[in-house]
Amino acid sequence: MVSDKVTAVTFATPVQELLPRVETRMHEIANTYHRDLHEALVHILASGGKRIRPVVNLLMGGALGAEVDRLVTSAAAIEMLHTATLVHDDLIDGSLLRRGMPTLNASWTPAKTVLTGDLIFSYAAVLAAETDSVRVMHLFADTLATIVNGEITQQFNSQGPASKEDYYRRIHAKTASLFEAAATAAAYLSPVDEDMIDAVRRYGYEIGMAFQIVDDVIDFAGNQDMVGKPIGSDLRQGLITLPALYYFEQNSEDISIAAAINGETLNGADLEKLVKAIRESNAIEESMKKAREFVERSLTFLHVLPDVVEKRALEELASYVVNRLR
């Protein structure tokens, strides 16, 4: 059972000493002789949030006996790849803030922002190469292709109404694929068999899916200060997420949600009303229930791990993913 209590962030404790080494790897490689660019990279790396993907990677590698130096390098590669996608995403969305801090996009030309994203991609590739594992490099290339393909699907989106099937495909590409990669890379660097690799990969998939669903719930249900952007910002940008899909299932007579599902742009007043309606509906709880199902499933894949402190931390991390709302 997923604990329903508020989970304190203690899951990173077993890798507390490795995390600064990941930061060091990232900063070493991002060293450059362009002063402005260096400051920007330091700023981007500093605004990087909780490092949950590297933590998944390090905990899994710790549980499976990965060689520590290569593991730290793979964790840095994972976070660098994540960072690169954020830089191009902010450019594409025209976002001026991320986690309450100004994006590159807010102060630089698009040319500089595109190239800085490219540079961070190249650093991720260099770090992946430095794991000296062909399988890790393959994984990186495939994961990058999956993430970008997902973004492109969204941009070229011209098919019919929004559906759960599309939603799940999109959040896999956008988020779960990198959690999968974080877990799988750790397994590739460890002396384990293919069955173990597969179980580990599926743990990453399940928590990644849960993570994005909870993000999408927070976008409706969180408070604005916490989220750092307006409530319902996805819907405002025409992006249909799970709460909106559940709301539509239960309120198909609401013409605003029907229009939004069909890709139409709502006027300001209708949009405000719809965001409020979704926020107050049980679509929020339905979505959270779905997220908890993913987390429950993720735990079943941890059974194959040895009974070590990292295993319990990975269980805690899974609970944290669905409890961080509060």
User: Which residues, including other chains, have CB under 8 Å from residue 68's CB and lie 6 or more apart?
Assistant: 18, 61
What pairs with residue 25 in β-bridges? none
* Residue 141 Cβ vs a second copy, minimum distance, rounded to whole Å: 4
Residue of 51, 53, 82, 88 that binds a second copy (CB under 8 A)? 88
Told to check if 115 binds a second copy by CB under 8 A, we report: yes
Q: For residue 147, which amino acid is it?
A: I
Work out the number of other CB atoms within 10 angstroms of the CB of residue 276. 13
- Between CA 173 and CA 151 the distance in angstroms is 8
Our CB check for a second copy shows the closer of 123 and 247 to be 123
Nearest CA-CA partner of 115 in 177, 123, 79: 123
User: Which residues, including other chains, have CB under 8 Å from residue 125's CB and lie 6 or more apart?
Assistant: 140
Our CB check for a second copy shows the closer of 93 and 270 to be 93
Told to check if 265 binds a second copy by CB under 8 A, we report: no
Our CB check for a second copy shows the closer of 169 and 276 to be 169
Told to check if 119 binds a second copy by CB under 8 A, we report: yes
Work out the number of other CB atoms within 10 angstroms of the CB of residue 49. 12
Angle at 98 (CA atoms; ends 95, 104), nearest 5 degrees:
65
CB 295 within 8 A of CB 318: yes
Q: What 8-state DSSP symbol labels residue 263?
A: T
Told to check if 258 binds a second copy by CB under 8 A, we report: no
* Residue 42 Cβ vs a second copy, minimum distance, rounded to whole Å: 15
* Residue 161 Cβ vs a second copy, minimum distance, rounded to whole Å: 18
* Residue 263 Cβ vs a second copy, minimum distance, rounded to whole Å: 16
CB 269 within 8 A of CB 242: no
Our CB check for a second copy shows the closer of 28 and 142 to be 142
Residue of 19, 129, 258, 277 that binds a second copy (CB under 8 A)? 129
What mask of x and - would describe binding to a second copy in positions 22 to 61, judged by CB under 8 A? ----------x-x-xx------------------------
* Residue 30 Cβ vs a second copy, minimum distance, rounded to whole Å: 11
Told to check if 128 binds a second copy by CB under 8 A, we report: yes
DSSP 82-144: HHHHHHHHHHHHT-SEETTEE-HHHHS-HHHHHHHHHHHHHHHHHHHHHTT-HHHHHHHHHHH
Our CB check for a second copy shows the closer of 118 and 285 to be 118
Our CB check for a second copy shows the closer of 158 and 223 to be 158
Told to check if 237 binds a second copy by CB under 8 A, we report: no
Our CB check for a second copy shows the closer of 7 and 133 to be 133
**What is the size of the binding site for a second copy (CB under 8 A)?**
43
- Between CA 140 and CA 84 the distance in angstroms is 13
Task: Note the residues at the interface with a second copy (CB under 8 A).
Answer: 32, 34, 36-37, 88, 91-92, 109-112, 114-119, 121-123, 125-126, 128-130, 132-134, 137-138, 140-142, 144-145, 147-149, 151-153, 155-156
